[in-house]
């Protein structure tokens, strides 16, 4: 039982490049979400999904795209990276929309130069 | 709009003394509240949660939290701090009508000195 797995752990991008941050969970959780962590701002919700085929925007969705084709995977796509997207990204999942808590991945540290 | 606030950027306490990290919330419906801890360059570790039930919630590593509905607070406490408790602590939550949209406070750095 691996929990929530994020890849890669570190990434450096040039401005304008695209990439996909991967997130997978093996707990059959219906709910998955992406957050970014910036100093002094806590974690902010980017996008979330309440099940396969269903996604919605969070607090800071601009510049990011998501899809949920399976229960297990919830990739986050940066279509054209900008320096403002330099951050640490966390994926989370939960069963029953939080009643049993949220499990977080170990994070992806992204630097856009 | 929902919000979670941690009024202190940093809390300093001597080892062996009790500690409190403060959190207040504003959510729609019944609150779902959580505390997480983050060590340097690590992910978030779950400490405890309040969904319903007793106002005093016990969690991991000797931590507990007190839910106070009238003051809309969910303060994290520990009777005797350890140097190893030094870390970044996040309060998070959402309302029963917004399940899944977890909102975080800005975090409080806890420094426990020997």
Percent of chain A clearing pLDDT 70 (strictly above)? 99
Cα gap A9→A86, rounded to integer Å? 14
Q: How confident is the model at residue B22 (pLDDT cuts 50, 70, 90)?
A: very high
Contact A106 B42 (CB under 8 A): yes
pLDDT at B1: 81
Q: How many CB pairs under 8 A join A and B?
A: 59
* Shortest distance, CA A71 to any CA of chain B (angstroms): 15
Contact B101 A94 (CB under 8 A): no
Cα gap B105→B65, rounded to integer Å? 15
Contact B100 A97 (CB under 8 A): yes
Q: Which residues of A touch B100 (CB under 8 A)?
A: 31, 33, 48, 50, 94, 97-98
The dihedrals phi and psi of A84, each to the nearest 5 degrees, come to: -70, -10
Average pLDDT, chain B: 93
Contact B99 A98 (CB under 8 A): yes
Query: Mean per-residue pLDDT for A61-82?
Result: 96
pLDDT tens per residue, range B53-97: 899 999 999 999 999 999 999 999 999 999 999 999 999 998 877
pLDDT at B41: 82
* Shortest distance, CA A105 to any CA of chain B (angstroms): 6
Facing A98 at nearest CB: one of B32, B42, B43: B32
Q: Which residue of B has its CA nearest to A98?
A: B100
Q: Of A38-47, A68-77, A96-105, B28-37, which gets the smallest average pLDDT?
A: A96-105
Q: Which residue of A has its CA nearest to B52?
A: A99
pLDDT at B113: 97
Q: Which residue of B has its CA nearest to A38?
A: B106
Cα gap B8→A103, rounded to integer Å? 25
Answer whether residue A2 shows pLDDT above 80.
Answer: no
Percent of chain B clearing pLDDT 70 (strictly above)? 98
Q: Which residue of B has its CA nearest to A103?
A: B46
pLDDT at B13: 98
The dihedrals phi and psi of B80, each to the nearest 5 degrees, come to: -145, 110
Compute CA distances A6 → A104, B22, B42, B94, B108, whole Å: 9, 31, 13, 24, 25
Give how far the C-alpha of residue B62 lies from the chain's centroid of Cα atoms, to the nearest Å.
Answer: 13
Contact B90 A48 (CB under 8 A): no
pLDDT at A110: 97
Q: Which residues of B touch A99 (CB under 8 A)?
A: 32, 51, 99
pLDDT at A101: 85
Q: How confident is the model at residue A1 (pLDDT cuts 50, 70, 90)?
A: low
């Amino acid at each position: 039982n691996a929990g929530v797995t994020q890849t890669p752990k570190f990434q450096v991008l040039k401005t304008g490049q695209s990439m996909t941050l991967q997130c997978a969970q093996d707990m059959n959780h219906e709910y998955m979400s992406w957050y970014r962590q910036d100093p002094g701002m806590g974690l902010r919700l980017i996008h979330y999904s309440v099940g396969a085929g269903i996604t919605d925007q969070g607090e800071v969705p601009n510049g990011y795209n998501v899809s949920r084709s399976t229960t297990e995977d919830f990739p986050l796509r940066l279509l054209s990276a900008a320096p403002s997207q330099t951050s640490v990204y966390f994926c989370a999942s939960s069963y029953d929309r939080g009643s049993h808590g949220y499990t977080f991945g170990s994070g992806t540290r992204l630097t856009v130069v | 709009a929902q919000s979670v606030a941690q009024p202190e950027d940093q809390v300093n306490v001597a080892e062996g003394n009790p500690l409190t990290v403060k959190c207040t919330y504003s959510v729609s419906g019944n609150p779902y509240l959580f505390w997480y801890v983050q060590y340097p360059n690590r992910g978030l570790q779950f400490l405890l949660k309040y969904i319903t039930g007793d106002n005093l919630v016990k969690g991991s590593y000797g931590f507990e939290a007190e839910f106070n509905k009238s003051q809309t607070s969910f303060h994290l406490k520990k009777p005797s701090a350890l140097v190893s408790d030094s870390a970044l602590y996040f309060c998070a939550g959402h309302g029963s009508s917004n399940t899944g949209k977890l909102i975080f406070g800005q975090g409080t750095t806890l420094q426990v000195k020997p």
